[in-house]
Amino acid sequence: MTPLLHVDGVGRRFGELTALDDVSLTIAAGGRHAVIGPNGAGKTTLLNLVAGTLPATAGRIVFDGRDITAMPVRARARLGIGRTWQHPAVFDRLPVATNLALAHHHAAGCTDHPTRWPHRNRPIDCVQELAGDAGLAEHRSTPAGSLSYGTRRRLEVAMALAAQPRLLLLDEPTAGLTAAEIDTLTRVLADLPDRTAVLLVDHHIDFVSAVADTITVLHHGAHITTGAPEQVRAHDDVRRVYLATDAGGQTETRPRDDTVPADGARPVLTVEGLRAGYHGAPVINQISLQLGAGQVVAVVGRSGAGKTTLINTIAGLHPARSGQITVDDTTVTDAGPRRRQQAGLSLVPQGRHLFKNLTVAEHLRVPQPARRQTSTPLSAADIYELFPTLAGRRRHRPGQLSGGEQQMLAMARALVGKPRALLLDEPSEGLAPTVIDDLARLITDLSTQHEVAVLLAEQNLPLALRVADQLCVLHEGAIALRTTPAAVAADPHLLEGYLGAAAVTTPEPAA
C-alpha cells in the first residue's frame, strides 16, 4: 500500500547551521506519528518542510504518491495538509464563530480531495458542529483574543479540522493547556476519522504516548530511533538526551523561605486589592501579594483562572480597575510599562515576543529605560555567563534558535536592566524535560544569588513546586489558597479541588 506521507532523507541548513540532516519517516493514511526530542532537535523545522513554509535543502517529500518537495504552501493545503503552530494563530479581534466560519469557507473552496464537508453550503451548521466538537459552543460570540490561552489553542485546532485534512500537522498542541484540556485534546484526536493522519510535535511525553502509535526521536537534527511508544521510552539514548531519567533523579529543590517577604524586610513588589477584566466582565478580583528580595511566588490555577491577566496587569499591559501596585517605595498602579521598568519591574511574556529580525546580540543591546534607583545594568558578559548557550548564538535570529534558546533569550532581554522583580508568564511552555531542568536552576540562581524577586505564572505544577517559596492558587479570579511546596508534599491531595486530580503529582519533599 502506498504511504500517505514519505519523507526521504530530508535536510535543512541555515547558513552554517544544520537544522536537519538526512531524516526519513513514513506515515500511512490514518497513522498517528509523533516527533520528539530536545529543544533544537529540528522538530518544528521538519513540520515546516512538510507544510512547505520552509524549502528543503536536501531530500524528497512525497504525499499520496506525488512529489511535493517544491510545491508551495497553498497547493499542499489544497491536497489536504493542514497545520497548527507553536503559538495559537487565530484572529484575536474576531468572534470564535467568525474564526471557524473563515476556516470553513477556505475548506469549502478546496476541492482537490473528497473528504470536505458534504454540507458545505450550510456554513452555520458546520460552524456549530465545529464549536460543539471543540467545546467552544458557549464561546461562539466571544472575541478570540479574550479567551484563555488554552481555549485559543482549542480554537486553532478546530480551525485546522474545519478543512477535514488528510494529514494534520500539530506543533506543540499541549503547550499552555491544563491537564483536563490535554485529556480533551487526546479524545478529540482519538475521534478523528480513520482516514486522517496526524504528525505531531510535542514535549508532553504522556500525551504523545497516548496519541501516537509511532514515535520518531531527533537530536541535533539527526535521527536517533523510531518505534512504538513503549520501545522509545525504554531506549537508552532517548532517556539520556531527552527524558533526563539517568541523571540521578530530579534536580534539587531550592532552599525554602516560606515567609513572603521575610519578617522585617521591606517587600520588593506589593499588590493590594487588584481588580481587572475584559469587556465589562471581571477576571481577577481583590488580588493581594507581597514578594521580598530573592523570593519566588508561583501563581497556579486552571486555564482561564486569570494568571496571565494578573501578570499583564502588574506589568502595565492591561489596566487595573482598582487596587494598588508598588515596586519598592514607588506606586506604579497608573504608570505605563516603561515607567514600571524604570521602577525595577520586568516581564517575560507568554509566547516570548522576540524581534524576529534582530540577532541575539542585538536583542541584548536594545535600550533599556534608565532605572530611577541606582543600579548598574548587566553587561553582555554578565548575560552570557548566566546564559552560556546564548554566547554561541550571538549572530542568530530567533527563527534560528530552538524553543529553549528562545525562552532563554526572552529572559536574558528582561534581565539586562537588572530588575528588582521579574514576572514570568508560562516560561516552561513548549520546553523539553531537560530544558525545564535548566530553567528551574536558572530561576533558583536568579532568586538566591542575584536576589531577584520572581512572580511565576505556570501551568507546569512540578516546576512551580521545585522553584517556589509560596504557591498562590487562583480560582475564579481570586486567590483561593496560599500554601507551600512542603505543605503539598505532606498532603498530595491539597490542590486537587482547584487543579483537578490529573494535574497534581506528588512532589519530592522540599529541601
Question: What ranges in 214-348 are assigned the alpha helix state H?
Answer: 229-233, 236-238, 307-315, 337-343
What is the 3-class SS of 481-509, one letter each residue?
EEECHHHHHHCCCCCHHHHCHHHCCCCCC
- 58 forms beta bridges with 11
Across the range 309-336, mean pLDDT stands at: 94
Report residue 195's pLDDT band, with 50, 70 and 90 as the boundaries: confident
Tell me which of 507 and 403 has the higher pLDDT: 403
Whether pLDDT at 362 is above 90: yes
Q: What is the pTM of this model?
A: 0.65
Q: What pLDDT, on a 0 to 100 scale, did the predictor assign at position 47? A: 95
Distance CA 216, CA 208 (A): 11
Phi-psi region of 196 (alpha: psi -120 to 50; beta: other; left: phi over 0): beta
DSSP at 239: I
Distance CA 301, CA 495 (A): 9
Whether pLDDT at 67 is above 70: yes
Distance CA 480, CA 378 (A): 38
Distance CA 25, CA 231 (A): 17
- 378 forms beta bridges with none
Q: What pLDDT, on a 0 to 100 scale, did the predictor assign at position 260? A: 54
Cβ-contact 256, 486 below 8 angstroms: yes
Give per-residue pLDDT as tens, 142-184.
999 888 777 888 899 889 888 889 999 999 888 777 777 888 8
Q: What pLDDT, on a 0 to 100 scale, did the predictor assign at position 402? A: 82
Whether pLDDT at 251 is above 90: no
Cβ-contact 4, 31 below 8 angstroms: yes
Cell of 70: 517544491
Distance CA 80, CA 376 (A): 55
Whether pLDDT at 114 is above 90: no
Across the range 221-240, mean pLDDT stands at: 90
Question: What ranges in 191-328 are assigned the alpha helix state H?
Answer: 205-211, 229-233, 236-238, 307-315
Whether pLDDT at 290 is above 70: yes
Question: What ranges in 109-214 are assigned the alpha helix state H?
Answer: 123-133, 149-161, 179-190, 205-211
Tell me which of 149 and 85 has the higher pLDDT: 85
Q: What pLDDT, on a 0 to 100 scale, did the predictor assign at position 246? A: 47
Distance CA 348, CA 475 (A): 23
Q: What pLDDT, on a 0 to 100 scale, did the predictor assign at position 506? A: 43
The CA-based angle 301-137-206, given to 5 degrees, is: 45
- Residues with Cβ < 8 Å from 104, sequence gap 6 or more? 117, 120, 123, 126, 127, 130, 162
Cα pseudo-dihedral 443, 446, 452, 455, rounded to 10: -10
Percent of the chain at pLDDT > 70 equals 87
* Lowest pLDDT segment from 204-218, 362-376, 438-452: 362-376
Percent of the chain at pLDDT > 90 equals 52
Highest mean pLDDT among 89-93, 133-137, 400-404: 89-93
Whether pLDDT at 250 is above 60: no
Average pLDDT over all residues of the chain: 85
Across the range 295-318, mean pLDDT stands at: 91
Report residue 509's pLDDT band, with 50, 70 and 90 as the boundaries: very low
How crowded is residue 418: how many other Cβ atoms within 10 Å of its Cβ?
Answer: 16
Distance CA 176, CA 29 (A): 29
Distance CA 391, CA 198 (A): 37
Side-chain-side CA neighbours of residue 460 (13 Å): 24
Q: What pLDDT, on a 0 to 100 scale, did the predictor assign at position 118? A: 46
Strand order in the sheet with 421-425: 345-348, 421-425, 453-457, 296-300, 470-475, 478-483
